[in-house]
Amino acid sequence: MTALFISDLHLDTGRPDSIARFEEFIDAHALAAERVYVLGDLFEVWIGDDDDEPELARVVAGFKRLADAGIPCAVMHGNRDFLLGERFAAAAGCRLLGDYERIELGGEPVLLTHGDLLCTDDRDYMQFRALVRGVQWQRSFLDKPLAERRAIATELRAKSASMNAMKPEEIMDVNEDTVAAVMREHGVRTLLHGHTHRPAIHRFALDGKPARRIVLGAWYEHAVVARWDDEGCKLVTL
């Protein structure tokens, strides 16, 4: 059994190299796997499933190649692409995941999440997240014309970058108490997430027993993948 986990690709039509890197991953690696999971921020921004940017069709086509080959692929919402919907999933032939997804790998329960919900010290972000994940905000946003949505998304990204530049690094990382609480709640000793762009495998004790937190990396320069097979899990830079 080989499962591949990726996150934080931040695919952007303004950066054709990012989409080319994704296509290379699909054709050279994903098509040889048995399962593929995308743990959020597949896109730099997603303004709705009706986005008519032609380059986005290349991403959908890449996922469709997996589906046509019989390889299940699941996609989780991130903080940049939380508006991914069923229309996208149907076109890509993938399944949308919830904020937390408990799966089994090699007989071991593993919890998947994007990672932003673990960053509870960043209170400003958590408040913003609650707002934009609300039904009313999303309905109002999606009712606007595409051009207006693009302008709003650009403005929000600029504000986010400005605010993040002023925050201490530790605030934007996960809260260890939150990590432990979430792992206890879901009954796991392995947690796999992205979001923080700090790839590593953290080993620690949870209630006196070994546990680990596997963190995926961003794809701005290289593709970072967690490969889980019969020999266990390791992080690989492609």
Mean pLDDT, the chain, rounded, equals 95
Least confident of 40-54, 86-100, 158-172, 183-197: 158-172
Least confident of 94-98, 172-176, 207-211: 172-176
pLDDT of residue 127: 95
pLDDT in tens, 145-154: 999 999 999 9
Between CA 106 and CA 232 the distance in angstroms is 8
Between CA 39 and CA 21 the distance in angstroms is 17
In the predicted structure, residue 167 carries a pLDDT above the cut 90 = no
Rounded average pLDDT over 114-132: 95
What is the pTM (predicted TM-score) of this model? Answer: 0.95
pLDDT of residue 58: 95
Q: For the domain bounded by 3-237, which CATH number is listed?
A: 3.60.21.10
Strands 108-113 and 3-6: unpaired
pLDDT in tens, 58-112: 999 999 999 999 999 999 999 999 999 999 999 999 999 999 999 999 899 999 9
Find out whether 27 and 214 touch, Cβ atoms under 8 Å.
no
Where is pLDDT greater, at 95 or 157? 95
* Other residues' Cβ atoms within 10 Å of the Cβ of residue 135: 7
